[in-house]
Copies of this chain bind each other. A is one copy, B any other.
Amino acid sequence: MNTFPTHAATPKPPYYAVIFTSLKSEEPEGYNDTSERMLELVHQQEGFLGFESFRNEHGFGVTISYWRSLEEIKKWKQNDPHLWAQEQGKKRWYKSYKVRICKVEHDYSFDSE
């Protein structure tokens, strides 16, 4: 049994994925606190299904969040504390980012156990 998070437990497709790649600034002041707070908040959002997140030694990372619908993705984008965090992201935390909104049409998996 794993004690760390692995594959997000998503339902049968179709559902949606937001692929957020980002390159962090060298000194992203306040990033960790806000990041934790956003994670708490997103878990309370209607339609949020789960996420997977990675960052490499160069400060480049990806967070993939999964959603039930496009409307619920939009509501999270317009959430007040999240709007503030998005502004901070542009001003302080990220050199660059890219957001891709995707419809998951098909999935399959393998488990050796």
Copies in the complex: 2
Query: Considering the chains assembled together, what is the distance between the CA atoms of A75 and B89 in angstroms?
Result: 39
Question: Does A62 touch B at the CB level, under 8 Å?
Answer: yes
Cβ A96 vs Cβ B60 within 8 A: no
Residues of A79-102 at the interface with B, using a CB-CB cut-off of 8 Å, are: 89-90, 94-102
Query: Considering the chains assembled together, what is the distance between the CA atoms of A7 and B98 in angstroms?
Result: 7
How close is A75's CB to chain B, nearest CB, in angstroms? 16
Residues in B neighbouring A19, C-beta threshold 8 A: 17, 19, 64, 104
Interface residues of A (CB under 8 A from B): 2, 4-8, 10, 13, 17, 19, 21, 23, 52, 54-56, 58, 60-62, 64, 89-90, 94-113
